[in-house]
């Protein structure tokens, strides 16, 4: 283990899908004596290693990895449950005196990993199922238009193709839980429960799209379609089915999976740019080792961290 470890601080790595976050986190963990902690909402699923681009068993053996593949796909998983799991993982890593390195592409999970979010309770039984059915029947743009009629201030902050946030807003609206935000969102504050160096990976658009297309092709070659069909037959949960490409591969539409992934990457970049205190690193045409060296230099020279910690 590197002598650079200092678990009085954590590292958080954000960035779009296929930008190389996992490879970078692995290199950084080896350089600074770290433990990689997953903050991707789909990589928690045990049965979906290929389609979610989880680290390989060989990669996981190189440094400790936590919160990867610990949930069967038939189980629903929530941000609230993840926030609890991440808190326990952080506490365990701090005991080992290694550096906790959070990495993933799910914005809400990244924030829940380092902050105490005031999360809303789950909706009453049946409401989510209703809007999921409406989504399948009418499509995301139609539901977005409906949300714009009922709560225009909420719809204004959601893209018409963002299926998950549209459904969540409508179910909260039906539950009486959707409230007009009062002041700045806690998602964009600099308050954290552990001092954290925030790193955001940037990449040139054409290269990112090329990486996404190549990754999807590699997933298909590796058996992603069979993986999702097995998960589907075993009763995959509503949340597991939100994995990029799950429904598309069930329909045999690889190109639709690529389009959805590119759109998701665009939203990830938008989210990352709004994250307070992030040190942006351009990874275009650079190796994971080069990027890790730059991040380590930030760490060693005491680059600004967000928050005062717990």
Over the chain, what HEC string results?
CCCCCCCCCEEEEECCCCCCHHHHHHHHHHHHCEEEEECCCCCCECCCCCCCCCCCHHHHHHCCEECCCCECCCCCCCHHHHHHHHHHHHHHHHHHCCEEEEECCCHHHHHHHHCCCCCCCCCCCCHHHHHHHHHHHHCHHHHHHHHHHHCHHHHCCCCCCCHHHHHHHHHHHHHCCCCCCCCCCHHHCCCCCCCEEEEEEECCHHHHHHHHHHHHHHHHHHCHHHHHHHHHHCCCCCCHHHCCCHHHHHCCCHHHHHHHHHHHHHHHHHHHHHCCCCEEEECCCCCHHHHHHHHHHHHHCCCCCECCCC
The dihedral formed by the CA atoms of 87, 92, 97 and 98, expressed in degrees to the nearest 10: -70
Return the ∠ at Cα 68 (arms to 22 and 21), rounded to 5°.
10
Please give the Cα distance from 277 to 192 (Å, whole number).
11
| CB of 279 closer than 8 Å to CB of 303 | yes
> From the first residue on, what is the mean pLDDT of each consecutive set of 10 residues in the chain (310 residues)?
58 95 96 95 97 96 96 91 90 92 89 70 74 91 93 89 88 74 48 77 96 98 98 94 95 96 92 85 94 92 58
| pLDDT score for 309 | 42
Structure confidence at residue 180 (pLDDT): 65
The tokens describing 263, both together, are 């759109």
- CA-nearest of 109, 89, 69, 68 to 10 is 89
Cβ atoms of 168 and 154 closer than 8 Å: no
Domains and CATH numbers, the chain: 10-118+190-300 (3.40.50.300), 127-175 (1.10.20.140)
């Amino acid at each position: 283990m590197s002598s650079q470890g200092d678990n009085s601080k954590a590292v958080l790595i954000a960035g779009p899908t296929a930008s190389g976050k996992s490879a970078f986190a692995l290199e950084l963990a080896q350089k600074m004596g770290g433990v990689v902690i997953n903050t991707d909402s789909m990589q928690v699923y045990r049965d979906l290693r290929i389609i979610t681009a989880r680290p390989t068993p060989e990669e996981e053996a190189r440094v400790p990895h936590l919160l990867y593949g610990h949930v069967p796909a038939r189980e629903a998983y929530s941000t609230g449950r993840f926030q609890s799991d991440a808190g326990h993982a952080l506490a365990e890593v701090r005991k080992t005196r290694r550096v906790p390195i959070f990495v993933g592409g799910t914005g809400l999970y990244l924030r829940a990993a380092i902050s105490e979010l005031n999360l809303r309770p789950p909706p009453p039984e049946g409401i989510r199922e209703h809007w999921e059915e409406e989504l399948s029947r009418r499509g995301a743009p139609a539901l977005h238009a409906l949300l714009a009629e009922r709560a225009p201030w909420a719809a204004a902050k959601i893209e018409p193709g963002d299926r998950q946030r549209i459904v969540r807003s409508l179910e909260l609206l039906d539950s009486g839980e959707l409230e007009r935000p009062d002041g700045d969102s806690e998602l964009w504050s600099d308050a954290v429960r552990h001092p954290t160096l925030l790193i955001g990976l940037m990449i040139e658009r054409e290269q990112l799209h090329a990486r996404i297309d190549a990754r999807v092709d590699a997933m298909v070659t590796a058996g992603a379609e069979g993986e999702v069909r097995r998960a589907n037959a075993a009763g995959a949960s509503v949340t597991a089915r939100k994995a990029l490409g799950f429904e598309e591969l069930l329909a045999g539409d690889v190109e639709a999976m690529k389009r959805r992934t590119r759109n998701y990457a665009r939203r990830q970049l938008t989210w990352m740019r709004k994250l307070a205190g992030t040190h942006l690193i351009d990874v275009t045409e650079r190796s994971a080792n080069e990027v890790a060296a730059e991040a380590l230099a930030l760490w060693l020279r005491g680059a600004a961290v967000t928050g005062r910690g717990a």
